[in-house]
Structure formats: C-alpha cells, structure tokens
A and B are shown apart, each in its own frame.
Chain A
C-alpha cells in the first residue's frame, strides 16, 4: 500500500521567513513524488515533481529515500504563496496519484 502524510494542516509564517512544508511517504518501490498547489478560487495545479529537479516560484523539493520524505522548501516566503499545498505519490506501474491531506500555508505581511 502507498500512503502520503502531511503532518501539518496549517503553517503560518511571516513574509520573508523560510518555509518548509513536510511530506512523508510510505511505499516499498521507487516512487515519483509531486507537489500540487491550489490558490484561492483556482484549480489544483502541478507545482513541481522530483524527477525534474526544478525550482518553481522559488520552491524546491528533494526526495530523501532514506527518510522517505519530500519536503517543500522556500527560503523567503511571499504573500502570494498563501495557498493549499498537496504532496502526491505515483507508484511504479500505476497511473494514479495518491495525495496527502494537504497543508494550508498562510504568509502574513
């Protein structure tokens, strides 16, 4: 079975502060990991995926297989980063994504 855990329902930081949204997963094979974001009144959209090793809107995420984690980080939060963030896992040979319960990020001025 595969599972994604996002332990924080809400993370509140001040503008300019560093951000780390936690994601841990449980999967016996080699997963693909993703972060999705949902801004207010917008649809859920892909933010980044671990295989691309990219930085999107200043966010990065590194897959740590030893700790089975895929935490999302940004060194300096902006108010426009306020949104709901979902971590997702795709198992080997499967098309479907398994999502975590999401973390709401609030960036205060």
Chain B
C-alpha cells in the first residue's frame, strides 16, 4: 500500500493500560510527525523525526513516548493516559528539505476511559 498507513483506526484504552500506535509510510520520505487533533482545537504538533532522529518534542508529557526505528516506521507508545488525551492522533511524512507539504495518514481515534 502506498501513502501513510496508521493502525489501529480506533482504540479504546483504560488509564492504566499500555498501548502503541503505529505509522508506516512507503513514500521514501525522510521526515515523520505525530500530531494531536482534539475537538475545537488546532492540530497540535507532538514530535518530529528526521532520518530516525527526533528533532522536535513539543513539550509533550512523558506518558507519550515516540519511537522511530527506521525512516519508514513511527510509533507512539502510550501509558497511564488521562481522559483528556482522547483525540485523533495523526501521523504525517514529508521529504525534507524539498519544499513540499505533508502526506497524512487517516489517524487513530483514541478514547481513554
């Protein structure tokens, strides 16, 4: 499959659970991103990776832990989340430094109960 693929599409987890979100891109891009989209809020940047190296952490709480084992895969490990962390989590990729835009995944709808 081409483009950016995110799994799972939906996730419900308790506050004491540990889960992971996965993102995969087959576009040959070298940069990957996690964004959080909450109701009535702009998309919030969480993490930026370039060639597997984390280049930005936008003051994200430590209960969110990213992992980028290679340029094609990006994970977001979740533990002891709060109900306010319920949101749509979007992954995107881009080719940098080319002046292009992002390619987004469909997102994972996370509900913390």
Contact surface of A with B, Cβ cutoff 8 Å: 4, 32, 34, 36, 43-46, 49, 51, 86, 88, 94-102
Assess the A95–B101 pair: CB atoms within 8 A. Answer: no
Contact of A97 among B50, B99, B102 (CB under 8 A): B102
B58 contact set on A, CB distance < 8 A: 96
Q: Can you list, as one digit per residue, whether each of B30-57 has a CB less than 8 Å from chain A (1) or not (0)?
A: 0101010000111101001010000110
Query: What distance in Å separates the Cβ of B44 from its nearest Cβ neighbour in chain A?
Result: 8
- Point out the residues of chain B lying under 8 angstroms from A99, CB to CB: 35, 42-43
A45 to B99, CA, bound (A): 15
Confirm or deny: B106 has a beta carbon within 8 angstroms of a beta carbon on chain A.
yes
Chain B interface size band reads 20 to 34
Q: Give the complex CA separation of A95 and B49 in angstroms.
A: 9
Instruction: Tell me whether A100 and B56 are in contact (CB under 8 A).
Output: no
Closest to B106 in A: A43
Q: Which residue of B lies closest to A51 (CB)?
A: B99
For the complex formed, measure the closest distance between the CB of A46 and the CB atoms of chain B, giving whole angstroms.
4
Beyond A94-B56, A97-B45: 14 further Cβ-contacts under 8 Å? A32-B99, A34-B101, A36-B102, A43-B104, A43-B107, A45-B103, A46-B100, A46-B101, A51-B99, A95-B50, A95-B94, A96-B33, A96-B48, A101-B41
Task: Give the complex CA separation of A73 and B33 in angstroms.
Answer: 29
B45 touches A98 (CB 8 A): yes
B99 touches A101 (CB 8 A): no
Partner of A45, one of B33, B40, B104: B104
- Asked if A49 and B99 sit within 8 Å, CB to CB, the answer is yes
Q: Chain A residues near B41: list those with CB within 8 A.
A: 101
Smallest Cβ-Cβ distance to B33: which chain A residue: A96
Cβ distance A104 to chain B, nearest Cβ, rounded Å: 12
Q: Which residues of A sit under 8 angstroms from B45, Cβ to Cβ?
A: 96-98
A to B CB contacts below 8 Å, 16 in the list? A4-B42, A36-B101, A43-B105, A43-B107, A44-B90, A45-B103, A46-B100, A46-B101, A49-B99, A49-B100, A49-B101, A51-B99, A95-B33, A95-B56, A101-B40, A102-B42
